[in-house]
Amino acid sequence: MKKTYYSNGKLLLTGEYLVLDGALSLAVPTQFGQSLTVETIDERKLIWKSLDKKRNIWFEDEFNILDKISLPDSYRDIRNDNDVSIRLLQILNATKQLNPGFLSTQNGFAVTTKLDFPQFWGLGSSSTLINNIAQWEEIDPYQLLKQTFGGSGYDIACAQHNVPITFQLKNEFTDEILKQSRKLSGQNDTVREILKVDFTPIFKDHLFFVHLNKKQNSRDGIKHYNANKNNSVLAISEISDITSKMIKCANLTHFETLITSHENIISKIIKQKPVKELLFNDYNGAIKSLGAWGGDFVLVTGNKDSISYFRNKGYHTIIPYSEMVLK
């Protein structure tokens, strides 16, 4: 028996960092994602193979499945002790905690993952994996994310939606209605509000995504944010307002003003210079960081002639909006 699961990649257009504290954020699924194929085999082994965009194997390993032993002990890395194997075991262990019946059958599985994008792009190689495993075992992907990589969960939402969304974390202290519902249900976890939105800018032909040739670790970015943020209550309100205005924006000049304002707000909070000031201070258009600052993609406004500007500076991964965002 063979079954395949698929999840979309993601880009967070607004609300980086502050999405963790309740800012209304705009996120889009990408045309690039990751699949996970599970095939039942007779051997009681978990045979794992991960393929990159060019279908080359970038990771493979085998794990023995033993009876009546918890996951950390029931899987033995028989090839090496690399970081990817250790991280995979952590995910499998968390999956086992959420579904005790996970891999308790008498057979084994051959699992193959395939990326549609280069690993260093930062479009969600981890979140798409988490969502695919959650689909495989029919568990809550947000809980699996919480027990493994952490984060707001907007990337899981993108993995599951084929249209742009707004994403907002809410809790019993920030929303009176939710507070009352939590009392009735006996829950007090932070909850998320995910809404599909019609975000198709009429000026999308003037929007590009440029990769900064670096892979930024989101967990490191979050740690830096938590260590440096001051009182962010006002900033959360300001970013939420910018998100709402960006969705409705019908003018490129206004759009550029909004994303520049967004950059300045985040810059003050995390005490880092905006990417345009650091790398592209002579560029005529607007530039906005996406996700953790310092790497991965940035959103750029301009025209086809703008592409040569970035290429001349050594940035060759330049993708038009219409070729990146899932239609």
Q: How many other CB atoms are found less than 10 A from the CB of residue 97? A: 15
| Same-domain pairing of 29 and 140 | yes
**pLDDT by position in tens, the chain (length 327):** 899 999 999 999 999 999 999 999 999 999 999 999 999 999 888 999 999 999 999 999 888 776 433 344 444 444 445 788 889 988 998 998 999 889 888 889 999 999 999 999 999 999 999 999 999 999 999 999 999 999 999 999 999 999 999 999 986 545 554 444 444 434 445 699 999 999 999 999 999 999 998 866 666 656 666 666 666 788 999 999 999 999 999 999 999 999 999 999 999 999 899 999 999 999 999 999 998 898 899 999 999 889 999 999 999 999 999 999 998
| Same-domain pairing of 104 and 234 | no
- The last residue of one of the domains, among 143, 168, 193, is 168
| Same-domain pairing of 130 and 256 | no
Range of the domain at 310: 201-324
Residue 83 lies in a domain: yes
Residue 34 lies in a domain: yes
The enclosing domain of 10 has a CATH number of 3.30.230.10
pLDDT at residue 81, rounded to an integer: 55
Residue 174 lies in a domain: no
| Same-domain pairing of 13 and 71 | yes
| Same-domain pairing of 76 and 156 | yes
Residue 195 lies in a domain: no
pLDDT at residue 105, rounded to an integer: 82
| Same-domain pairing of 145 and 20 | yes
Q: Please give the full DSSP string across 180-204, using - where no structure is assigned.
A: HHHHHHT----EEEEEE-----TTG
pTM for the model: 0.88
pLDDT at residue 183, rounded to an integer: 45
Domain count, the chain: 2
pLDDT at residue 229, rounded to an integer: 64
Query: What is d(CA 94, CA 118) in angstroms, rounded to the nearest whole number?
Result: 26
The enclosing domain of 261 has a CATH number of 3.30.70.890
- The last residue of one of the domains, among 168, 186, 210, is 168
Give the DSSP letter of residue 246. Answer: H
Residue 305 lies in a domain: yes
Length of the chain: 327
| Same-domain pairing of 223 and 158 | no
Query: What is d(CA 7, CA 119) in angstroms, rounded to the nearest whole number?
Result: 15
Burial of 129 (0-12, 13-18, 19+ CB in 10 A): buried
Nearest to 111 by CA among 45, 67, 32, 42: 45
Residue 177 lies in a domain: no
Residue 256 lies in a domain: yes
Residue 179 lies in a domain: no
| Same-domain pairing of 30 and 161 | yes
pLDDT at residue 291, rounded to an integer: 87
Angle at the Cα of 148 (from 124 to 53), degrees rounded to 5?
25
| Same-domain pairing of 208 and 162 | no
Tell me the residue type at 213: N
Tokens of 184: 């009735």
| Same-domain pairing of 261 and 155 | no
- The last residue of one of the domains, among 144, 168, 192, is 168
pLDDT at residue 186, rounded to an integer: 42
